[in-house]
A and B are shown apart, each in its own frame.
Chain A
Amino acid sequence: MAQPRVVVVGAGPAGVRCAEALVAAGIRPTLIDENRRDGGQIYRRQPESFSRPYSKLYGTEAGRAAAIHSTFESLRGQIDYLPQTLVWNIEGHSLYLVKEARHITLTFDALVLCTGATDRLMPVKGWNLAGTYSLGGAQVALKSQACAIGNEVVFVGTGALLYLVAAQYQQAGARVRAVLDTAPWSARVGALPSLLAAPATLWKGLLLTLRLRSAGVPLYTGIEPLEIAGTAENGVSGISFKDSGGRVVELRCDAVALGYHLRPETQLADLARCHFYFDPSTRQWLPQVDPDGRTSVSGVYLAGDGARIRGANAAESSGRLAALAVLQDLGQAPAVDTVAALRGSLEKLHRFARGLSQAFPWPAQQAGRLSDDTVVCRCESVSVGELRQVIQQTGACESNRAKAFSRVGMGRCQGRYCGHAAAEIIAHAANVPIEQVGRLRGQAPVKPLQIAAVLSASLPASVEEAK
């Protein structure tokens, strides 16, 4: 029998560990990645002309980053690696790729999607001004380019990443004006039992907070952002917020890093027709997976943060597990004790992730309080008021219907940065439960493409049909 074609999408910690386990079993997988270099976002590598050591780039995770990178290097000759390649559609067992404006069709027997995550955003008035960046974006600027997003940066949102990036900025010599967390202190106390599932990670998180505090960075918890101030020409000039006591505080800054934890990138799983379910604890729709990463679609597997947000260590375990599931489904019996150990470690990290979402909850309640003139869709400058008006006038209280009328989610980011907040705004305005609002369907191409690439994909097929 010919070797089964196994395709892994994403060269972050999940994708690399998955490819490693497949290679160990004698398979030569194809590893497709959108980035120029391996490592994903968390272990993103700096360009070759940069010289900062691992300890500076990855801090306490330097060892893990180095291990992932060296594993990838050792796999190079044993995998088919396609960097700077976008998977823009899936139809059955065919993948449509574009690499340097050229179209490629690839068929698979098994597909492991390790597509990672992007920042989860809640709008704030003025977030459309130049100088506001996603928290992850602020981290990329530093990690991959040794830059701060501004002279004086305010970090706003919630989650572990908020403190991590602020601490990385402070250590790298950037001026961190303040860290503004929407989560109240009490939530952290309540989440403690779950967070103790990964005590070392919890301890690292506490140290970050202590380091920021001892560096004199003002840390606020239980805040509500009011407005990012500035002008359309010059961008951000400050931020105002309500502190936990209800007092309005204004700070001057020229950059804001904004993010409320992460959301999985699930467009490809959606195009593969995987079943999704509503997760009430994080108020979002997630693809259904079994403990090893099998989806509802035979031959399609998910691993890492693209399945659910559990962090980089879990990504490594889930990548390995998905590979073992692929092998098992292809008829190879995996080592039972390895599977059990991986499932065990993943279970612990799953509990920890639950704790994090409890300690740093998604601020759903803010959606109802956003002023009508707040921009919800940055791509096409659609305001919260326009979205609310659509709901009142048309009664559209389902995400895709509201999108058709309002264009919220139809812009070039394809709903990545407005979708979750828009769902909350719709739920609040229509007074329906959030799960009833549904989720924006993934659409091909999952990112904007040159029309020529799409045409070159459809032409050969139609020529064949014409014969």
Chain B
Amino acid sequence: MAGRFVRLAETGRRAVTLIVDGKVIRAYEGDTLLVALLTSMGHVRASEFGGGLRAGFCLMGACQDCWVWSSDGNRLRACSTVLSEGMAISTQQPEVTWPNLE
């Protein structure tokens, strides 16, 4: 599907691009990462517990339902992350290698 969120105002801001799962997405300066994603797509991640696709819930940093990953593997909470130009995002959790503790 196309975007889930609908912009109602404030579209005169500077345009910013980001890369999501390898594809270029357009957004605006001042967008949160969640808004940048959800104005272009219908979800931000898949539930790890077989609960389908997710698109965030509380938008105020309480529910943790909008986690995405930066290209260097850091976890970001999309609703409280401010977008920056050229950000590269993965909606899938990168493979984690646990340290060998032996």
Using a CB–CB distance below 8 Å, which chain A residues touch chain B? 34-36, 41, 46-52, 118-119, 128-134, 136-138, 140-142, 144-151, 172-174, 231-235, 254-255, 265, 375, 378-381, 412-413, 416-417, 447-448, 450
Contact = CB atoms under 8 A, between A and B. Distances in A.
Interface size class of B (residues with CB under 8 A): 35 or more
A150 B3 CA distance: 9
B4 A146 contact: no
A233 B55 CA distance: 11
A173 B8 contact: yes
A41 B53 contact: no
Interface of B: 1, 4-10, 12-14, 28-32, 35, 38-39, 42-43, 47, 49-65, 75, 79-80, 82
A264 to B, nearest CB: 12
A137 B13 contact: no
Q: Which 10 pairs, one residue from A and one from B, show the smallest C-beta to C-beta distance?
A: A232-B52, A49-B30, A381-B51, A47-B30, A137-B59, A130-B55, A412-B64, A381-B49, A146-B10, A140-B59
B4 A118 contact: no
A257 to B, nearest CB: 11
Contacts of B60: 41, 118, 136-137, 140
Contacts of A379: 49, 63-65
Most chain A CB neighbours (cut-off 10 Å) among B39, B43, B62, B79: B62
Contacts of B75: 450
A146 B8 contact: yes
A235 B8 contact: no
A232 B53 contact: yes
Given A47-B82, A50-B30, A378 B8 contact: no
A141 B4 contact: no
B49 A380 contact: yes
Contacts of A416: 62-63
Nearest to B43: A130
B58 A148 contact: no
A173 B78 CA distance: 25
Contacts of B9: 52, 146, 172-173
